[in-house]
Amino acid sequence: MDIASVYCSGSIMKGNGDQKKLYWTDREREQVRSGASALEVVFLNPDDPIADPTNTLALFGRDMYQIKVAHAIIVDGRERRGLGIGVEMAAAATFGTPVIAVVPRNSLYRQDELEYLGATVKDYVHPHISALATMVVDDFAAAGAALAVNHKRPVTDVAVPGWLDRAIDEYCSKVLPDDAPMIEALERIGA
C-alpha cells in the first residue's frame, strides 16, 4: 500500500476563547483516510506537543518543515482562518507541496455568487485560496480522494527563502531530536 503524508492546516486551540472554532479532529482525519482508501495516510499535526514550546522560531520551523516533507497539505477552510493558514499555503507553494483546500460551497471563502468590488462574481473562491490551492474540494472525504490522485510529486530542489530556512534549521537542530511524534511520522513515510 502506498503511503502519503498530510500536513493538517487549520486553527490550533490556543485557549478557552477558541472553544467554538472548528478544528482538525479524529473525525476529519478518518474522512480523509476514507476518501484516500487506497493509501495509508500519515498525518503531520502542528498541534502535537513539543519539548520546547517557548522557542517560537522552532515552532514556526516545525510547521514549515512538516509542510516541506508532506506529500500534500490539506487546508481546513470551513470558516474564517488566521494569518498562519495563508503563510502555510504560501510556503507549500514555495516547496511545491500540493495544497488541497476544504472549502464548502457557500461558505466564507467560496460562494456560488458574490457581490464583490462592485460586480457580481459567479463561482467565487477567495483569491488567495484560488491562487495557492492545487485543488478546492467540498469536504474531507473529497480531500482524501484528491490526495490519492495528487500525493506523488517530483522531488525537486527549490530555493528556500532565508526566513523559511532559518526557522527550519532552528527546529531541526534544537527540537526535532526530541520530537517523538515527528520522528515516528518521518520513519513511517521513509523520510
Mean pLDDT, 10 residues at a time, over the chain (191 residues)?
91 62 89 94 90 91 95 95 92 94 96 92 95 97 94 75 94 95 93 79
DSSP 142-189: HHHHHHHHH-----------HHHHHHHHHHHHHTGGG-HHHHHHHHHH
Q: What angle do CA 10, 175, 71 make, to 5 degrees?
A: 45
Query: What is the structure's pLDDT at 27?
Result: 93
Q: Name the class of domain 2-189.
A: alpha beta
pTM for the predicted model, two decimal places: 0.91
Cell of 110: 467560496
Query: What is the structure's pLDDT at 73?
Result: 96
Query: What is the structure's pLDDT at 69?
Result: 93
Question: Where do the domains of the chain lie?
Answer: 2-189
Query: What is the structure's pLDDT at 21?
Result: 75
Query: What is the structure's pLDDT at 12?
Result: 65
Within a 10 A sphere around the Cβ of 107, how many other Cβ atoms?
15
Query: What is the structure's pLDDT at 115?
Result: 92
Residue 144 and residue 36 in contact, taking contact as beta carbons nearer than 8 Å: yes
Residue 4 and residue 40 in contact, taking contact as beta carbons nearer than 8 Å: yes
Strands 110-116 and 119-125: antiparallel
Cell of 182: 515527528
How far is residue 27's CA from residue 43's CA, in Å, rounded to a whole number? 13
